[in-house]
Chain A
Amino acid sequence: MDLYLPIANLSVNALVIVALGLGVGLLSGMFGVGGGFLTTPLLIFYGIPPTVAAASAASQVTGASVSGVFAHFRRGGVDVHMGLVLVAGGVVGSVVGAGVFRLLQASGVIDTVIAILYVLMLGSIGGLMLHESITAVRVGRGALAPRARKRRHHPLVAMLPLRWRFYRSGLYISPLAPLLLGFLTGILTVLLGVGGGFILVPAMLYLLGMGTQVVVGTSLFQILFVTAAATMVHATTTKAVDIVLAVLLLIGSVAGAQLGARFAQKAKPEYLRLALALIVLAVALRMLLGLAWRPDEIYSVELL
């Protein structure tokens, strides 16, 4: 079923795009990641121009997170208070990100910078999560004695002034920490076309020390608003949001997100984290190889 994309200026097989959305949606509902870190590279691999891919993936992530947020809201898995602080940082970050994007684009190294950022972040976070989840799985099986309860949040976070109480998360910390976290993910959203969930979820768990039950819902809450802001930023600056492409992705991903959210309620969280860690590491590895291997195309054409 061929369909012409008016902004990307090419025709695609609509079913392939819907299937791609479905797969990514499944992950997003399950893990609370937006899935943009998979959508963008896959779309580029399919032949969609990188800017259009990043811009349209952002709106797909919005859709996928809406259904996820609703699903988590119903079971009380969203800390709205914490979420709003993150969103405030995120919106500022996405505007700053647009500036950085333009600078890098002009110098021609944007693709390389994006790939290096992916490798560094996905690699380190994936590794961290893998280590933690394996420990958790072994504890769960009784193969390992549970260690003494760790400090709830990182010492650097504890040092920040001005403390607020976040009831749902069970935290009493400075709002500056989530604000900064939101800001950084906002930059990443515009730069990489990702929701930033793969940074947020581990950061919430290991840096802020939030309760596991609200991590996924709250990160989806933040992703929802920040990707909406990023879509607006792209629509007005790069003009690369392809609404037809976005709708195709949405059809698949909203259905996938529902399935994923149900599955997440049944599965054990430590196994979910283990699976996410493996996916994240696989993407990082693929990106690393892409940097080092001779690329298929030595030359690239950019319209002026």
Chain B
Amino acid sequence: MKRPAAALLMLAAPLLMGQAKPVLVPDVSERNIEIAYSFTGAELLLFGAILYPRGQAPDPEDGPADIVIVVRGPTQAVLVREKEKLAGIWLNAESTRYRSAPSFYAVASSRPIRRIVDERTRAIYELGVDSLQLSPASGAVPEVQARFDRGLVDLRTRSGLFYEDSNAVEITGGVLYRARIDIPARVPVGRFTAETFLIQKGRVLAAAVRPIEIRKSGLEQFVATSAERYSVPYGLVAVALSVLFGWGAGALWRRF
């Protein structure tokens, strides 16, 4: 664990323990993920401690305490299009807008999520890929909407952007937990959040959030901002590079 976090934990421990409700003290292995030229994705380690009031873990007979960790990427406004066969050709027919669909969404839990909480709680806290609130912006019929929701979720699930791992959280001694979450290379940059929930008997006892910043660094950062802000010089450089490459290769070739 990082030293400041540990020190903070020790300082806060007496205060926290005095409370009647359990408290979660979460942390993340990397608070800033930098995308450099060799970025192929990242593996996040999420860990932390559960502080029970008066240092007493609940009676195991009340049922096991579970930890659920949700990592979300920045939300995006998206348009989902559906292809249909018209006159022998597959083309985009219907479409639906979503105001804020998460670009990345991963759930790690200590047991299958369906066995930890009921459907209502899942919907409230958005635990699980099928409990996601996708916030559709077009007023489509519910059945049609559900079809598009499934399409979007399925697409993102298969590209590794949405997933559930029901065995990813490991709880040690009832008080320490940790989980690994894979961030694929295709995620957008921006502010990610890691939410941790302590759940027992279907009720959320404690929750805590940690931000994670993902950004491009070095050359990648430079290229991305130049393309966005200085598009004319950027385009000229691209053209100049291609001419130079072509000319250079020709000149080299003749020498040998």
Say whether A associates with B. Answer: yes
Is B92 in contact with A71, judged by CB distance below 8 angstroms? no
With both chains docked as a complex, state the minimum distance between the C-beta of B89 and any C-beta of chain A, in angstroms: 5
Is B235 in contact with A236, judged by CB distance below 8 angstroms? yes
Those 8 A-B pairs whose CB atoms lie nearest each other, nearest first? A66-B246, A235-B235, A299-B151, A254-B249, A63-B242, A62-B242, A112-B91, A67-B250
With both chains docked as a complex, state the minimum distance between the C-beta of B101 and any C-beta of chain A, in angstroms: 8
| CA distance in complex: A234, B239 (Å) | 11
Tally of contact residues, A, Cβ under 8 A: 55
What is A's interface to B at a CB cutoff of 8 Å? 2-4, 6-7, 9-11, 59-60, 62-68, 70-71, 108-109, 111-112, 116, 228, 231-232, 234-236, 239, 241, 243-244, 246-247, 250-251, 254-255, 257-258, 291-295, 297-304
Is B248 in contact with A300, judged by CB distance below 8 angstroms? no
What are 21 A-B pairs with beta-carbon distances under 8 A?
Answer: A4-B35, A4-B37, A6-B219, A10-B185, A11-B185, A62-B243, A63-B245, A64-B246, A65-B246, A67-B247, A239-B231, A244-B223, A246-B242, A254-B249, A254-B250, A258-B253, A291-B88, A292-B88, A299-B82, A300-B81, A304-B79
A residues near B91, Cβ cutoff 8 Å: 109, 111-112
| CA distance in complex: A227, B35 (Å) | 31
Is A301 in contact with B88, judged by CB distance below 8 angstroms? no
| CA distance in complex: A232, B83 (Å) | 32
With both chains docked as a complex, state the minimum distance between the C-beta of B33 and any C-beta of chain A, in angstroms: 12
Contact with A along B76-94 (1 / 0, CB 8 A): 1111111101001111100
With both chains docked as a complex, state the minimum distance between the C-beta of A8 and any C-beta of chain B, in angstroms: 9
Given contacts A66-B243, A243-B238, A299-B155, contact A257 B249 (CB under 8 A): yes
With both chains docked as a complex, state the minimum distance between the C-beta of A26 and any C-beta of chain B, in angstroms: 13
| CA distance in complex: A299, B101 (Å) | 15
Contact with A along B37-74 (1 / 0, CB 8 A): 11111000000000000000000000000000000000
With both chains docked as a complex, state the minimum distance between the C-beta of A240 and any C-beta of chain B, in angstroms: 8
Contacts between chains A and B (CB distance < 8 A), count: 181
Q: Does B216 sit within 8 A of A, measured CB to CB?
A: yes
Residue on B with the closest CB to A10?
B186
Q: Does B112 sit within 8 A of A, measured CB to CB?
A: no
Is B154 in contact with A299, judged by CB distance below 8 angstroms? yes
Residue on B with the closest CB to A297?
B155
With both chains docked as a complex, state the minimum distance between the C-beta of A112 and any C-beta of chain B, in angstroms: 4
Given contacts A231-B239, A304-B97, contact A258 B249 (CB under 8 A): yes
Partner of B90, one of A11, A244, A291: A291
Given contacts A292-B89, A299-B80, contact A231 B235 (CB under 8 A): yes
Is B247 in contact with A66, judged by CB distance below 8 angstroms? yes
A residues near B235, Cβ cutoff 8 Å: 231-232, 234-236, 241
Q: Which of A59, A67, A244 has the most CB of B within 10 A?
A: A67
Is B246 in contact with A254, judged by CB distance below 8 angstroms? yes
| CA distance in complex: A294, B84 (Å) | 9
Given contacts A109-B91, A299-B155, A302-B81, contact A60 B242 (CB under 8 A): yes
Residue on B with the closest CB to A2?
B40
B residues near A108, Cβ cutoff 8 Å: 79, 81, 92, 95
- B residues 104-157 near A (Cβ < 8 Å) are 148, 151-152, 154-156
With both chains docked as a complex, state the minimum distance between the C-beta of B163 and any C-beta of chain A, in angstroms: 17
A residues near B35, Cβ cutoff 8 Å: 4
B residues near A231, Cβ cutoff 8 Å: 235, 238-239, 242
| CA distance in complex: A111, B188 (Å) | 24
B residues near A59, Cβ cutoff 8 Å: 238-239, 241-242
With both chains docked as a complex, state the minimum distance between the C-beta of B236 and any C-beta of chain A, in angstroms: 7
- B residues 204-253 near A (Cβ < 8 Å) are 216, 219-221, 223-224, 227-228, 231-232, 234-239, 241-243, 245-250, 253
Is A232 in contact with B239, judged by CB distance below 8 angstroms? yes
Partner of B92, one of A3, A63, A111, A291: A111
Is B81 in contact with A235, judged by CB distance below 8 angstroms? no
